[in-house]
A and B are shown apart, each in its own frame.
Chain A
Amino acid sequence: MPKNIEEVILAAIKGKQEEAILTNNTPNPFASIGQTQRYYTLSGGLFDETHPKTDTAEYFHALLNTKTKRIIGFTPLDTSANSDIDPVVFALSVDPLAAMLPSYSPYAAFNDNPIFYTDPTGASAEGPPTGPGGCVFPDDETGSSVGGLAQVLNTTGTGGSNSTNTGTSSAGSSSTPLSTDKLRSMAIQKGWNENVSPQKFNWIVGKAFENTAIQALGLQLNANTKPFYSSERNNFTNGNVSYVVPDAVGRVFSSSGGDYPNSYFAEVKAISRNITLGTSNQQIRGLIDAAANSPAGRAQQNPSVFFITTANTIIGNDVVNAAQASGVQIWQIIAYVDDQGRIAFSQPVLQTNSTLTPESLYINTPWLELAYPTTGDTPGNPDPIRFDSGN
């Protein structure tokens, strides 16, 4: 407790308030230019409230690199823990703009949504970019370039260190994270719910989102025709389901020359709850198991699972921990929607602890209409995203 506050309290107890001097402990950020304005703080200047800068800041379960201004990872959510918050511990730093943002708690950052908002100045949250940025990388073994593919990951950080925005100028003026509710309302606006059962409507919405994601990432629809065995899924379903059939499958390359086919899996999910090991009839358990037993998994060369999701889909702690223990990397790519109802996707964010550099993996997806799913052919890359494990 600041000395002068102690004195104020003691003076009050002794009934000698006039002897105590109450000073304003709020920092004056404008002192260097001769101004006297101070931050607005909840303590009204009673307490010395400072805002120290650090290289990495943790907001909820997101880790922000304050220099590169990028989310560099997520700390696992402990869903089993009691969510009570100690108000004293939590109130170490108060938002200097609290008075200007009355609808948000002064203790909140990123509008309580660290996945989708940034705060590059430290002053207030900023919305996501109006168009997805990123680099274009070679999309296949011929080295041709196609915008919209998640491509090369390297550990040196040189592969994708720039952030050139390639051709997304036709996007709407603003974009927001695409939630499952928004996705459903878009489908309803298109009349897809008419004369179909709720089960079929859900299937149609999920499949339309999947098709949009697959196409946005430059992949070919229905290209994966391979089921992958998982003893774990088998044993946790009484043998009812023994395989996983990922939406896309790709190769992992290592810089030492290793080429590991069928070693990363991509799964598109539009669900409003946490993705857990048991989700979709133990599908996620199966995906991690299959990735761990893939050629790259057996060679310990960063087998990966990409989850391409709606905005309110959270990858559970159990999934991250299981992947971590199995040597599997988990990535998440999140959908955005612009004011014209078109969808694009974020950069992949690495969820597991790894020596890989998440900033060096960039994607650049076009804005696409949500299209009714069909089983017809679409152009795309039949041998989808290549992935360099960097080892």
Chain B
Amino acid sequence: MKIITLSIFIILFSDYSYSQNVSKFDTVKQQNIHSEMRKKYNFKNLSKKQTKEILTKYNGVYNQDIENKIGKSIFSKPYLLSDGRILLYSIFDSTAALYESIEHLMSVVETSKKLSQKSSQHMLTGLLPYGSDFPLHVDELINKLSQQLSIPIDSLDRSNKSMEILDKKFKEMESSEFIYQNYFAMIVAYAGEVMIKTTPGSYWKMTYNEKDSLWEPYIITSNQTKFNPWRELYVEINENPNNPCLSCALAGELHKYGLMK
């Protein structure tokens, strides 16, 4: 009973800033399921030539039942191959996505349905804990980053070079959503600290975004320039989840202060 009460307490109070439609914990759970699927099954993007070859070799047949399950699309059609794999044929460029099984494809589709609820919400929705107190937890988040990525805390010396350690650690990580849900707050905390070390006299400032009802962290320099330690990082992780260049996202600030060399 005590454990249950404690769990409820933790959920209620650790998630107080996540008042959005999507529960962070549901999403993480979904992502973990997806992660297991990813390890279990192979996935491949096919060129035009490969698509044609596989469709021919494995007698690919358009399957309406599968299409009904995954939802109709103007862009693509599912083909069932003779070995049970699913080829998602891209109509306009004749390429394809090759799934190991219907179970594999459905796991990807089901996981994404949760994510669709977040569409057009602010990118920080549900990602940064502690609200306006975020800066007070920066050290704690960096320690957590060190532990979870097995990086000696001494290596995280808030230097430009140390961002490249993160670049290496996030290679071949998981989906962008997996990185967001599990690491993004820590990454923002560390990137902000690198900016502060780079630009002496600068500090954290939380700004309340009334339109989106959340707190946004910024770094304010001694000459009152406002730097954003999260947008470029978010975009970089979104576009290159398997090889994000997090150090690139800070390149501007480092260059500006002559610290790129």
Contacts and interface: CB of A to CB of B under 8 A. Distances in A.
Nearest to A196: B260
Given A238-B43, A238-B97, A277-B90, A372 B255 contact: yes
B150 to A, nearest CB: 23
Contacts of B99: 238
B73 interface: yes
Interface string A270-292: 00000011101101010001101
Size category of the binding interface on chain B = 35 or more
A341 interface: no
B74 A326 contact: yes
B128 interface: no
B253 interface: yes
B126 to A, nearest CB: 12
Residue among B92, B112, B250 with the highest chain A CB neighbour number at 10 A = B92
B75 A322 contact: yes
Contacts of B228: 222, 375-376
Nearest to B173: A240
A353 interface: no
A154 to B, nearest CB: 27
B120 A228 contact: yes
Contacts of B148: none
Contact of B76 (A207, A232, A292): A232
B252 A200 contact: no
Given A195-B260, A203-B245, A222 B231 contact: yes
B168 to A, nearest CB: 12
A238 B37 CA distance: 10
Contacts of B253: 374-376
B32 to A, nearest CB: 12
B108 interface: yes
Interface of A: 80, 192, 194-196, 199-200, 203-204, 207, 222, 225-229, 231-232, 234-245, 262, 276-278, 280-281, 283, 285, 289-290, 292, 316, 318-319, 321-322, 325-326, 372-377
A203 B251 contact: yes
A241 B239 contact: yes
A375 B252 contact: yes
Contacts of A242: 112, 115-116, 175-177
Interface string B134-152: 0000000000000000000
Given A204-B248, A242-B177, A243-B238, A235 B70 contact: yes
Contact of A207 (B71, B229, B240, B252): B252
A245 B108 contact: no
Given A232-B73, A373-B252, A226 B231 contact: no
B74 to A, nearest CB: 5
Nearest to B250: A375
Interface in B89-141: 90-95, 97, 99, 105, 107-109, 111-112, 115-116, 118-124
A232 B108 CA distance: 11
B227 interface: yes
Nearest to B242: A240
B90 A375 contact: no
Contacts of A321: 92
Q: Which of B34, B99, B111, B240 has the most CB of A within 10 A?
A: B240
Contacts of A316: 93
Given A229-B115, A245-B235, A277-B92, A289 B242 contact: no
User: Top 9 nearest A-B pairs by Cβ distance?
Assistant: A229-B119, A374-B252, A318-B93, A203-B248, A238-B43, A239-B108, A234-B112, A322-B92, A318-B92
